[in-house]
Amino acid sequence: MKEKVVLAYSGGLDTTALIPWLKETFGYDVVCCCVNCGQGNELDGLEERARLSGAAKLYIEDIVDEFCDEFIMPCVQAGAVYEHKYLLGTSMARPAIARRLVEIARKENAVAICHGATGKGNDQIRFELSIRALAPDIKIIAPWRMTDVWTMQSRDDEIAFCKAHGIHLPFDTSHSYSRDRNLWHISHEGLELEDPSQAPNFDDMLVLSVTPEKAPDRCTDVTMTFEAGVPKTLNGKAMKVSEIITELNRLGGENGIGIVDIVENRVVGMKSRGIYETPGGTILMEAHDQLEELILDRDTMETKKKLGSQFAQVVYEGKWFTPLREALQAFVESTQKYVTGEVKFRLYKGNIIKAGTTSPYSLYNESLASFTTGDMYDHHDASGFITLFGLPLKVRAMKLQEVKNKGN
């Protein structure tokens, strides 16, 4: 009986070419596994394509709710944003996919897992760190780094290889951007984006959104409720997290929300430019932040911001299945106990405009915040507070003045 390899299969040109290549190079039976994180119509036709390419079996695993509840929401609650802009759409999905690949590999008694990530990108790290953390005994095959046996260097080479093996597929060499899509976002790389001096060709690029200029000349009002940091309703309707993100994608996309152009620092040391469309995710994170403003005290908020940035770095670097991520998430979860309430806002031409926030746990006190004198705040107390708070500054200034006077 032949040994088996589980192939992380997207149905694209790279992973389609990998099926006959794995069979010829290693003599494996190839078990394809496509993990559905919300790719939409990218899943169409996969079964026939895998069969025509020589796969022994195809799994299409739906983990959309799992992805939302166990990977997206911890990042939302942490306020995890990489380099101030990137909402981690691909970074969050890779460990979720890797976990399911390992499960299928165990089920099939496979000896190896193969991925089609390139040797220049972050995904090779995210896949392989996750697989090693979950299944250290399973071999990992990364063809793009195996240049002695993987000789294809372009889409033309891959198409020619497929044709030589009787696989005629609907791909062409003029295909535009390199894209990654899931429920949270879609990313775009390549073509004019490889030159940072060039403006993006949004008309040819955007999939989920329109630009703010093309958004309607009217506001879209949105109301959301949260319980313990988790969104529960959207415009009065109770929904699962995945359903809320789906609807927010529609609303945000129509209003030009969440289009980001970033030059980011990859883990492997190079800079790369990409466009990310994250309409629903941008809204969800802003709504969550809007509610937290009312509820978290100053010290907790400041600490959470610092750890949220670290959380983003950990996820970006593929270290999901680590004690550090678990510890950071434990802190974040402890801050979410009282993040409950209602958030209102308006979407307008790329903007998310606050329209009111309420919570039974709000720390905002109108009597304290008002410019009028209230019972809980005596203005005279501020004098003593400022004296003590500024004492180190005064002592230092006095010492500097003393030294200066001695010099004169």
Give the integer Cα–Cα distance in Å for 188 and 175. Answer: 12
Whether 49 is catalytic? no
Whether 123 is catalytic? yes
Question: Widest CA span of the chain, in angstroms?
Answer: 94
Options 53, 91, 123, 126, the catalytic residue: 123
Question: Would you call 329 helix, strand, or coil by DSSP?
Answer: helix
- Length of the chain counted residue by residue: 408
273 near 262, Cβ under 8 Å?
yes
Whether 62 is catalytic? no
Strand order from edge to edge, sheet including 271-277: 178-181, 186-189, 271-277, 259-265
Q: Of 178, 158, 180, whose CA–CA distance to 169 is shortest?
A: 158
Q: In 99-257, where do the E strands start and end?
A: 112-114, 139-141, 178-181, 186-189, 220-227, 230-234, 237-238
Options 94, 100, 126, 273, the catalytic residue: 94
Give the integer Cα–Cα distance in Å for 157 and 173. Answer: 10
What's at 166, amino acid-wise?
Answer: G
Cα of first residue to Cα of last residue in the chain, in angstroms, is 94
Options 14, 187, 273, 325, the catalytic residue: 14
Whether 396 is catalytic? no
Strand partners, 262: 274
Strand partners, 345: 222, 354
Residues in Cβ contact with 43 at an 8 Å cutoff, skipping those fewer than 6 apart: 11, 34, 36, 60
Options 65, 69, 178, 309, the catalytic residue: 178
Q: Of 310, 266, 272, 320, whose CA–CA distance to 80 is shortest?
A: 310
Q: Is the dihedral of CA 269, 273, 277, 280 positive or negative?
A: positive
Question: Which residues does the annotation mark as catalytic?
Answer: 14, 94, 123, 178
